[in-house]
Amino acid sequence: MYISAEKNEENRRSTSARTGAEYPCGDSNHTGSVDNCTEPLQYRMYRSALPDPVANPESALHRQYHAGTAPLNGRTESSTDIFQTMADQGAVATAQRMLRHRLESSPRTALQLHGPQAIMQRKVALNTSLVGNNLKGLKVSSGGALGVVFIPDVVAKPEVDGQSAVDISTSINTVMGGVVDGGWSVSAPSARLAQVLEVAEIAKALNLRNQTKPGSVGDQNRVAAMVAALTTRPENVVIYEQAPGTDFVNHLADGALNNAAAKKQSKKGQPKTGSGLAQLADPGYARHLGRIAALDIFMGHRDRLHGAGNFENWMSDVRSRRLTLVDNDISNLSLANWSTHQDVQQLTNQQYPLLANTIVTEIDSLLNHQGYGGGKLGAKDLAVWQNTIRPVFQTCIEAGLQAGRLKLLQRGWGLVNALRVANSPLADRLEERLNHLHNG
């Protein structure tokens, strides 16, 4: 993945130097040329085969693509129809990858250690069988209604529908996978269903330590509630890879959360590298937030960037430049109810400026509000946000929403077909929404 990202960055910078055109959100390192922008891989492959591909962002070909029509094989076709055809062709391969991932994620017993190595804390991979010595270092989180169980490098979480939760992670990674913008990438933690024996072992270990060493695995009441949830619905417990970095709240902290990034807040009117404000000011990061918002609207998840809004539901790792989406969900709304939401209508009708304004207004409210992870910035930082960052940020959100909708149309049908082959309960719901998004 890192090789691909570096290669993509190299190609992007080469194109930027050639065209000299700026991306609409003001990032001088990201051009609006046909080699970049939100143009999908399939269309770039087609255009690269032309006798004289034009890199001018104002070219007729580029305008046709963004208008939704482009000449292929001597005729004009909707770009989203092209996506559907190509997605159908790749559906079997995608389904095979999903099924292979499920098999590879099945728990396996870790190698036995002997001699001095046996006292070392072993790493736990997603497919490690979570029993016996692999359950060292258990801890129930202090946040969230119920929370999660931290096991070194993975977490266990009771879900309402375990298989759907696993498939949601797969869906996010299918849509967002491989999209690198300004060096930033987006993913959800890989996941698998826990085995009933594993759940019983986790609950047993938590309960024992909660009784013999109160507080050693978390607040006693929270541990007891977690044990009850694990034993009540073991078939819906999901094992996730632990997300890198820290949640966005910590990056916004002004010192209260003892975060190293808290010392890097704005100085002389500019945010310091690594701070929460610096991330919001990064065009690639901001455009990814727009893509995430488009995906959340499609899924009906209203607890991150719009709706209720929650800064705790994504993690940022500045070193690897990776955003990880956590506490993901999909609504059970019927198509008739889902399609009446204003944000769905605006995304469907490509009303990106209106939708971007709504999202940025919600983010602005969170930055000023003490709840949902906000209230971490002082007056000086808020002034930097309002006067310096917000105008460019909103333009980037708008561009990200457009890119996110196109990515859904580009990869959506292949995802639906793969989910159906895998007997996922999400397939029909996502197909209905995808057709609505496509047909308007």
Between CA 261 and CA 327 the distance in angstroms is 23
User: Percentage of the chain surpassing pLDDT 90?
Assistant: 54
Backbone conformation region of residue 298, classed left if phi is above 0, alpha if psi is from -120 to 50, else beta: alpha
Average pLDDT, stretch 346-365?
95
Residues with Cβ within 8 Å of 159's Cβ and at least 6 positions away in sequence, in order, are 165, 236, 237, 238
**Global confidence as pTM:** 0.73
Average pLDDT over the chain reads: 77
Give tens-digit pLDDT for 56-109.
Answer: 333 443 444 344 443 333 333 334 444 444 444 455 455 555 555 554 555 644
pLDDT of residue 189: 96
Give tens-digit pLDDT for 23-55.
Answer: 444 444 444 433 344 434 333 333 333 333 333
What the chain holds in terms of domains, given with CATH numbers, is 2-73 (no CATH), 115-241 (no CATH), 246-439 (1.10.1070.11)
Between CA 247 and CA 354 the distance in angstroms is 28
CA atoms within 13 A on the CB side of 144: 18
Are the CB atoms for 304 and 311 separated by under 8 Å? no
pLDDT of residue 80: 41
Average pLDDT, stretch 139-144?
90
- Tell me which of 36-40, 123-127, 226-230, 276-280 is least confident: 36-40
